A and B are shown apart, each in its own frame.
Chain A
Amino acid sequence: MRHTLIALVEDRPGALNRILGLLRGRGLGLHSIAVGDSETPGVKRATVLVDTESVEQTIKQLNRLIEVLEVTDVTNAEYVVRETALVKIHAPEPRRDEIKTVADGFGARIVGSSPQTVVVEMTDTPDRLGEMIARVMAIGACETMRSGSLAMALAGPAPRVPAPAPEDATRVWWSQADGIS
């Protein structure tokens, strides 16, 4: 079954690689992953759409990764999903009006063009994006670029970032060794 997970991940080298490697190694299907900065410096927030038989196991396995701070499954919560698509449509001048009509109907925008092409941007649910893309594909050859789903639960606690360990604990620990230097 497909689950929508939201993960908070420390921005360290290889962190994303570890998440992808874990999903592959455990034989889980990754549908999409979208990552970007969170409200906390040094911490990324990712939306992961993954096919798994046991989401509890998947979350526990992800939590074993050192950089993963928190994983939430929002699949059964009230949440919104948005995805952005850029669609480049190869269409001659005479058909541009048609494209504009479709775009307007979907709340999409034309964000750029060249003599041969028009680029449309749209942000909506993945299903609505699919519908729009199907419509413009009937007009001309299309190249699509989609961001992957971004999800956010409507409710939930205020964001909480784990506090760093108190510094004095560190000093005690090191002083146990016979000091050199």
Chain B
Amino acid sequence: MTDERTGAQVMCEALVREDVEVMFGIPGGAIMPFYHAMWEYRDRLRHVLCRHEQGAGHAAEGYARSTGKPGVCVATSGPGATNLVTPIANAWMDSTPLVAITGQVSSAVLGKDAFQETDITGITLPITKHNYRVSRAEDLPSVFREAFHIARTGRPGPVLIDVTKDAQQARLVPDWNVTLNVPGFSAPVGLDPRAIREAARILAGASKPLILAGQGVIISDAVAELRTLAERTGIPVVTTLHGIGAFPEDHPLSIGMPGMHGWVHVNRAIQECDVLLCIGARFDDRVTGKASTFAPRASVIHIDIDPSEIGKNVKVAVAIIGDARAALRALIELIPPRDAAIWLRNIRETQATHQHRQPYLRRPDTTELMPHDVYAALNAALNKRGGYRVITDVGQHQMWAAQLIEWRRPRTHITSGGAGTMGFAVPAAMGAAIAHPDETIWAIVGDGGFQMTNQELATIGQEGIKNVKVAIVNNGYLGMVRQWQQLFEGRRYSGTPLTGPSFAGLAEAYGLRGFTVDRIEDAEEAIRAAWDHDGSVVLDFRVEREANVFPLVPPGLSIGEMITREAPA
């Protein structure tokens, strides 16, 4: 017995050493040696065979976002690898730790347009934190180590490892005593005490301070610190789409989501505040609207681990570069207790005037199931039962979910934000369900996004995954586009009406349970039945077709200029 291994075995061992327990993928010619080796590791490394590599990538993202650990996806060369491009781009935009492993043609034929050869490291250059092509098996231990280190350190993100077939097949005695030598990868540095002092000074002198909390709070595990800071200072807290869960929405200081579909009182508070403390958020244009008019009265204090986010979209008065939790702890030490009750009362008065949960008023002449009926029933069930996570897709249903569910815990709201990838929800829910078998994972998805990746229902069936509950908010349109066409393009519904099969029937065909719900009085019962069913379920909610998401900041305008209802016809 020697210590000799194949490159493919070294890859498996590296994954075990990195605490990987599951990977999502599809085999093919150039990655076959890895699958061959995987068989010996099947008690330690679970492989989930997906139906499309995009599904594998999003499943790995769902795993990563719900656990904080890197997700792993696997594909073969050529089309297998290119099918991973969308999830890699999605992970890049949403700072999700993801390690994508692809097979590559043998080095002997590399560069000769070999069968299923694609330059995947070239293709993914701008959407990965880093990527590697490995053609020497000896490099595998250090490359895997670096890749996982880079994926999860600092601002997390995707890393791709492309391994030629001959490197997987080569025999070697691996040297695991590798030195992590990435001098150009600036790991988080210590906080600048002057910046902390200056931020504390500005906050202490503010009369209308506001906290804008993003996903960085969740990634750095700073939820408790954020709460301490808010409670100690009485500063109201706004949570971005990815910041949902960083601060409980039933807390008296929580005022909700900002931006394009944020609440009127939140956007007005941003426009009025004199100090804006932004923690782990990157001032996406969906948050700022027209950036030059964003928070015009505010001194902005920006805490971010990525220096390139400072001053990118919004001018900042003080930049604190570093880990959000460390920064918040340092700030808490320096900020004296204070009170912002009058300011908060003003915000609440605006909120009361605009009755923010009421723009979904049922039309007087219809009894159709409205989206808000579905969310009301879901919200009641989620908060009564607990033990859930919700994955949303992209579009109207995503904004309704962000607005209408009362979010309370980190990593319970997972969505595709920066990239806006339709088709994210079903596979991501599958990944989260595998990571959390004792929880109920809801996928809320539109009928458009559902039809992009619903092939993964077959994977859910094959793997015996019982805890995915899909709620389709089905309006027979690509609804967000249709809404823009209605509001800004004179109802020219070009390319947006959408049909589909019976989604309940489709679920049954895949061996899951499926129910169609089209009456208000059935919504609650359907959700209860789905939750209690010992298996994965698809609920097809046939909702009013032309319901809209309000409030809405028209694209390119200031967030102070919101549309709160349809113009009277």
Q: Residue A162 at the B interface, CB < 8 A?
A: yes
- For A66, list chain B residues within 8 Å (CB): 129-130, 150, 182, 184-185
With contacts A10-B184, A180-B16, A181-B3 taken as known, whether A21 is within 8 angstroms of B125 at the C-beta atoms is yes
Would you mind naming 26 contact pairs between A and B with Cβ atoms under 8 Å apart? A10-B183, A13-B133, A14-B121, A14-B122, A14-B125, A22-B126, A57-B308, A57-B311, A60-B310, A64-B129, A64-B306, A66-B150, A66-B182, A67-B184, A68-B184, A69-B183, A162-B184, A164-B181, A165-B181, A167-B179, A170-B177, A170-B180, A171-B177, A174-B145, A177-B17, A181-B176
Mark contacts of B1-42 with chain A using CB atoms, 8 A cut-off: 1 yes-contact digit, 0 otherwise.
001010000000100111100000000000000000000000
Complex interface: chain B residues within 8 A of A69 (CB)? 183-184
Give the nearest-CB partner of B12 in chain A: A180
Interface string of A33-72 (1 = CB under 8 A from B): 0000000000000000000001011001101111111000
Q: Chain B contacts of A65 at CB under 8 A?
A: 184
Asked whether any CB of chain B lies closer than 8 Å to the CB of A3, the reply is no
Q: Do A169 and B18 touch across chains, with their CB atoms under 8 A apart?
A: no
Alpha-carbon distance between A121 and B336 when the two chains are bound, in angstroms? 69
Does A25 count as interface, using CB distance less than 8 angstroms? yes
B108 on the A face (CB < 8 A)? no
Nearest-Cβ distance from residue B232 to partner chain A, whole angstroms: 32
A57-B312, A63-B186, A66-B130 known; A180+B13 contact, CB < 8 A: yes
Interface size for B (C-beta < 8 A) is 34
Docked pose: A57 CA to B315 CA in angstroms: 12
- A57 nearest CB neighbor, chain B only: B312
Contacts of A10 in B (CB 8 A): 183-184
Of B122, B181, B312, the residue contacting A17 (CB under 8 A) is B122
Check B183–A164 contact: CB distance below 8 A.
yes
Please determine whether A174 and B184 come into contact, CB atoms closer than 8 angstroms: no
**In the complex, how many angstroms separate the beta carbon of A141 from the nearest chain B beta carbon?**
37
Q: Which residues of A contact B129 (CB under 8 A)?
A: 64, 66
Determine the interface band of chain A, counting residues with CB < 8 A from chain B: 35 or more
Closest to A169 in B: B180
Q: Which residues of A contact B16 (CB under 8 A)?
A: 177-178, 180
What 0/1 pattern do residues 122 to 152 of B give for CB contact below 8 A with A? 1001100110010000000000010000100
Contact across chains for B179 and A165 when beta carbons are under 8 A apart? yes
Give the docked Cα–Cα distance between A10 and B13 (Å): 28
B437 within 8 A of A: no
Flag if A174 contacts B177 (CB, 8 Å): yes
Question: A82 on the interface (CB 8 Å rule)?
Answer: no
Closest to B182 in A: A66
Docked pose: A63 CA to B306 CA in angstroms: 10
- Determine whether A146 belongs to the interface, using a CB cutoff of 8 Å to chain B: no
Instruction: Tell me the complex Cα distance, A177–B469, Å.
Output: 35
B311 / chain A contacts, CB cutoff of 8 Å:
54, 56-57
- The CA-CA distance from A168 to B512 in the complex, in Å, is 52
Asked if A60 and B307 make an inter-chain contact with CB atoms under 8 angstroms apart, the answer reads: yes
In the complex, A109 has a CB within 8 A of chain B: no
- The B541-559 residues at the A interface (CB cut-off 8 A) are none
A67 to B17, CA, bound (A): 25
Q: Mark B214-252, 1 if CB is under 8 A from A, else 0.
A: 000000000000000000000000000000000000000
Whether B174 is near chain A, meaning CB under 8 Å from some CB there, is: yes
Known: A66-B150, A66-B184, A165-B180. A177 touches B133 (CB 8 A): no
Given A171-B177, A181-B174: A63 in contact with B122 (beta carbons within 8 A): no
B126 and A63: CB pair below 8 A? no
